[in-house]
Amino acid sequence: MNIGSHQLRNNVFVAPMAGVTDRPFRQLCKRLGAGYAVSEMAASDPRLLASVKTARRIDHAGEMEPKAVQIAGADPAMMADAARFNVERGAQVIDINMGCPVKKVCNRLAGSALMADEPLAIAIVEAVVGAVAVPVTVKMRIGPTRERRNAVRLARLFEAAGAAMITVHGRSRACGYSGRAEYDTVAEVKQALRIPVVANGDIDSPRKAREVLELTGADAVMIGRAAQGRPWIFREIAHFLATGRELAAPSPREVRQLLSEHLLDHYAFHGEFAGVRSARKHVGWYLAGTPAWEAARQDFNRIETPQGQLDAIERLFERLSAQAGTQPAAESPANETNFEQRRAA
C-alpha cells in the first residue's frame, strides 16, 4: 500500500507510543519486518520545539523511509507551524494525534479530546494539510465515548480536508486502554472512505491481525503495546499474512542478541544517564514472565551504567539457559526451546 507517493513494503505498522517509539525502537521494528513506523508524539508548542526531548523525538538520522512524525496540540496555527518545522527537518509524513487518551494531553484539549470538538478537529487537519506538501495522516479513536461514536463522520471530513490515511483505535477516549477494542466502527470508517484505513487496538498475534483485517476490511494493522519487548511480532505477522504459515518464535540466543543490539543503539541515542534509566522498561518487557527476571529485577533496576546492564543481561540469559538445560552459545537455533515458550513456562 501507499501513503501519498510513499510505497510501503507491507501493511504491518508500528504505533506511535510516547516514551517507547524512539528512533532505536522504530529502526529495530522496521528491521524485523514492520512496513511503517510513526514517531512518538512531538508537541506543537513553539516553546518546546528546541527542547532535548523534542529534538530526540524528531531525530530520524539514518532511519528507513518514509520518516513519519506525529504532532500533538489543539491550536491550528501552532499545529501548522509544527508540521512545517518537522518537514524542514526531514519528516516525510505528518501524523496528527487525535487518539491519545492520557489526561495530561486531553486536559490541553489535544489528543483524543479533539474528537469532542469537531470544528476544531477539522480546522487542525485543514491547517496542517495546507501548511505542508507531504502526506498528512490522522490517528483517532471511535469517539469521545462508546455512546458518542463520531469516527465515521470525522473521518469523512478529514478525507475531504486532504488527509491521506486514517488510523482508528477501536476504543473511545473514555475507555482509555481498558476493556476490549471493537472493530465494527473501524469497518464503518473503511466503508465510508476512499483513502487507506488502518485498524489499531488489541492486535497481539498473527492470527488476530488476519482476523481484524477480515472483520474490518482495513488496509493495514497497527501494533502498539504487543510490540513492547517483542519487536519480532512484525515479521511474524507479515509472514503469516503473506503465506498463511506461522514463523517459529525466536530462540533465547536471538532474543539476547536483539536486546543487546537494541540497548547499544538506545545508549548511543539517549546518552548514558538517560539511556540507562529508560532502558530498564525495555529490558523488563523483553524478559517479563521469566523466573530469572523476576528474581533479578530489583537489583537490575539499581544498575547505573550501560556496561553494568549489559553484563547483568548476559547473566540473566545464562540463568535462562541453565534452567532449560541448554547451552545457547553452542547450539543451533533450530534445536533451542523458543523464547516465548520459555517465558511462558
Summarised one tens digit per residue, pLDDT across range 78-135 is 999 999 999 998 999 999 999 887 766 765 667 888 999 999 999 999 999 999 999 9
Joined together, the cell numbers standing for residue 45 give: 508548542
Whole-number Cα distances in Å, 295 to 121, 176, 283, 312: 48, 32, 14, 12
Phi and psi at residue 25, to the nearest 5°? -70, -45
Joined together, the cell numbers standing for residue 315 give: 547473566
Where does the pLDDT of residue 339 fall: very low under 50, low under 70, confident under 90, or very high at 90 and above?
very low
pLDDT exceeds 90 at position 344: no
Look at residues 165, 203, 174, 170 and name the one whose alpha carbon lies nearest to residue 186: 170
Q: Class assignment of domain 2-243?
A: alpha beta
Joined together, the cell numbers standing for residue 214 give: 477480515
Residue 103 has a pLDDT of 63
Residue with cell 530469572: 292
CA–CA distance, 282 with 17 (Å, rounded to integer): 13
Contact 37, 21 (CB under 8 A): yes
Q: Would you please indicate which residues are annotated as catalytic (active-site) residues?
A: 100
For residue 298, give the DSSP letter.
H
Write down the domain spans for the chain. 2-243, 252-344
Whole-number Cα distances in Å, 139 to 57, 124, 136, 238, 260: 18, 13, 10, 22, 32
Q: Per-residue pLDDT averaged across 298-314, rounded? A: 95
Side chain identity at 328, as an amino acid letter?
A: P
Q: Please tell me the pTM assigned to this model.
A: 0.88
Residue 40 has a pLDDT of 87
Question: How do the residues of the chain divide into helix, strand and coil, expressed in percent and rounded to 5?
Answer: 50, 15, 35
Which residues on neighbouring strands pair with residue 220, listed in sequence order?
198
pLDDT tens digit sequence for 200-246: 999 999 999 999 999 999 999 999 999 999 999 999 999 999 999 99
Query: How many CB atoms are located within 10 Å of the residue 307 CB?
Result: 11
Least confident of 32-41, 151-160, 270-279, 332-341: 332-341
Side chain identity at 313, as an amino acid letter?
A: I
Where does the pLDDT of residue 324 fall: very low under 50, low under 70, confident under 90, or very high at 90 and above?
low
